[in-house]
Amino acid sequence: MKICMVLMAFFSIQITFAHELGQDVSRWSQDQFEIAKTRLMQNVSPKGAIPGSVVASPSKDSPNYYYNWVRDAGLVMLTINRLRTFSTSQEEQDFYLRQLFDYVDVTRIHQSMRTAAGLGEVKFYVNGAPFTGPWGRPQNDGPAIRALTLTKLANYLMEHEGEAYVRSMLYDSKQPTESVIKKDLEYVSHNWKNHDFDLWEEIMGHHFFTRLLQRRALLEGAKLAKRLGDMGAGEWYASQAQALEVALNLHWDENAGFFRATQNRVAGIDYKQGMDSSVIIAIINSADAQDTAFSIKDDRFMSSLYKMKNTFSGIYSINSRFPDMGTAIGRYPEDRYDGYSTGKLGNPWFITTAAFASYYYKLAKALKKDGSIKVTKRNREFLNQALTLTMTGHFLQVNQVLGSNDSIFSLLLEGLIKSGDSYVERIRFHAHSDGSLSEQMNRETGYMQGAEHLTWSYSSFINVYLNRQEALR
């Protein structure tokens, strides 16, 4: 009885904090942004590790995440590159640039290792040696994310007197190549049709997340190759990106109203039905303003998010007990990993909840730039749900077009920002008072669990903050 009273008191305090946060999302986000940057950098090149290594978490036991996962490291370095472009301090910019150069060096070490999965190897020890134990391999999202990240670095260097470094270290136009970007692009372009394990390391098949990042890496790589005079490779990468576009469209399920995360399963768990928040993580990390095929404004992503949000809201007790904030989002509804072992009930994650916040912010920015949106059968419910945060008694109709001169359009943009803010409130509600973020939040109690100080959690929140800043400009 006393324990129940203590828990109720705790949650009462947390609810009060959540309501207060609704009045000042900006201030808390700014504070958490600074904390997240500090915590993230503590996991980059930690003491005793090769410079450029990124540990998934400092946790070495229950669970042991003290490895450099290729995928996680690539996403973290993608964030660090974004921090470089966001910063107005030359000292900070130089600091982030040094981290990226270290990342190039450790990538060369990883690519030179003989591994069971080639460049699709999953993770490495902090001394640079590959992990050789049993694991779900290959995982082909890592090389794509790494290539995408370093292509952004290459483009920056090309504009800042760094072409010699680019040609010697990043993209040498040779075959066989010794440069890190071209190695990854060659691997991706020749292996994307093969089966591999998904980002959750549970299913072998063809995965939307992996394919969407592969497509973006090849599109950006094609432009870099042509810029450097490697025209044949540029055409090859572009052709494979086009083929990936066709394959990605096959993941869309019109009847279900969402992108199915995996097709052609050949191994791994067999109890997933196809709904997976990795779809949203994929689009927020690969969207490009000039891309018309897979845009942040694609009504299929709005439909997918809407379906997932409603599903997750009903399976985690913390969503129904504390409804005055964004929905706590998990990996997929049937998840059986609780942060320590499988065979349990899965929980919401910070990275997935943050991904939903980022999606709303990025969509608000894109629609504001366009100045209009057409209501479709796919996005109508999503848009109406966002609109309810700023007005009542109005429902959008299919084929209705909202423009910048329409007051409802302005209210919709405001509703999208408020929707993103509601997920920030959810993150705040479950984070530790010192701003630390673990991997998961318990579906019943709301307390954090799983790997502590998860690097990807901090990286995700940094992007939430940056996406919010851009949406509000």
pLDDT at 295: 97
Report the DSSP pairing between strands 262-268 and 203-207: antiparallel
List helix spans (H) across 114-179: 141-158, 163-165
Phi, psi (degrees; rounded to nearest 5) at 68: -95, 95
- In this predicted model, which residue has the larger pLDDT, 22 or 367? 367
* C-alpha–C-alpha distance, residues 469 and 473, integer Å: 7
Q: Are residues 29 and 162 in the same domain?
A: no
Phi, psi (degrees; rounded to nearest 5) at 50: -65, 135
Residue at which a domain ends, from 255, 286, 317: 286
Residue at which a domain ends, from 268, 286, 304: 286
Give the pLDDT band of residue 19 (cuts 50, 70, 90): very low
CB distance 71 to 139 below 8 Å:
yes
Q: Are residues 96 and 194 in the same domain?
A: yes
Catalytic residue among 105, 201, 381, 406: 201
pLDDT at 17: 40
Q: The CATH number of the domain where 352 resides is what? A: 1.50.10.10
- In this predicted model, which residue has the larger pLDDT, 414 or 9? 414
Q: Which of 155, 165, 144 is nearest to 73 (CA)?
A: 144
pLDDT at 128: 97
- For the chain, give the number of residues: 473
CB distance 260 to 205 below 8 Å:
no
* C-alpha–C-alpha distance, residues 360 and 284, integer Å: 10
198 among known catalytic residues: yes
Catalytic residue among 121, 198, 338, 452: 198
* C-alpha–C-alpha distance, residues 234 and 226, integer Å: 5
Report, as an integer, the average pLDDT of 166-182.
97
Q: Are residues 226 and 242 in the same domain?
A: yes
pLDDT at 251: 98
pLDDT at 23: 53
Q: Are residues 311 and 169 in the same domain?
A: no
For the segment 189-228, what is each residue's pLDDT rounded down to a tens digit?
999 999 999 999 999 999 999 999 999 999 999 999 999 9
Give the pLDDT band of residue 261 (cuts 50, 70, 90): very high
For the segment 454-473, what is each residue's pLDDT rounded down to a tens digit?
999 999 999 999 999 999 99
pLDDT at 98: 98
* Residue 8 pLDDT > 70: no
pLDDT at 151: 98
Q: Are residues 209 and 321 in the same domain?
A: no
Q: Write down the mean pLDDT value for the chain.
A: 94
Phi-psi region of 74 (alpha: psi -120 to 50; beta: other; left: phi over 0): alpha
Q: Are residues 374 and 270 in the same domain?
A: no
* C-alpha–C-alpha distance, residues 44 and 262, integer Å: 31
Q: Are residues 204 and 332 in the same domain?
A: no
For the segment 83-120, what is each residue's pLDDT rounded down to a tens digit?
999 999 999 999 999 999 999 999 999 999 999 999 99
**Domain interval for residue 132:** 48-286
* C-alpha–C-alpha distance, residues 249 and 261, integer Å: 12
Report, as an integer, the average pLDDT of 138-164.
98
Query: Is the whole model's pTM more than 0.75, yes or no?
Result: yes
pLDDT at 451: 98
Q: Are residues 280 and 424 in the same domain?
A: no
Report, as an integer, the average pLDDT of 305-318.
97
| Percent of the chain surpassing pLDDT 90 | 93
For the segment 378-426, what is each residue's pLDDT rounded down to a tens digit?
999 999 999 999 998 879 999 999 999 999 999 999 999 999 999 999 9
Exposed/middle/buried for 447, CB within 10 Å: 0-12, 13-18, 19+? Answer: middle
Domain count, the chain: 2
Q: Are residues 190 and 318 in the same domain?
A: no
201 among known catalytic residues: yes
pLDDT at 24: 86
Four-point Cα dihedral 204, 265, 287, 312, nearest 10: -100
User: Taking every pair of C-alpha atoms in the chain, what is the biggest distance, in angstroms?
Assistant: 73
Q: Are residues 373 and 447 in the same domain?
A: yes
Residue at which a domain ends, from 239, 267, 286: 286
Q: Are residues 350 and 202 in the same domain?
A: no
Q: Is 426 helix (H, G, I), strand (E, B) or coil?
A: helix
- DSSP state for residue 168 in the 8-state scheme: I
Q: Are residues 279 and 216 in the same domain?
A: yes
pLDDT at 12: 41
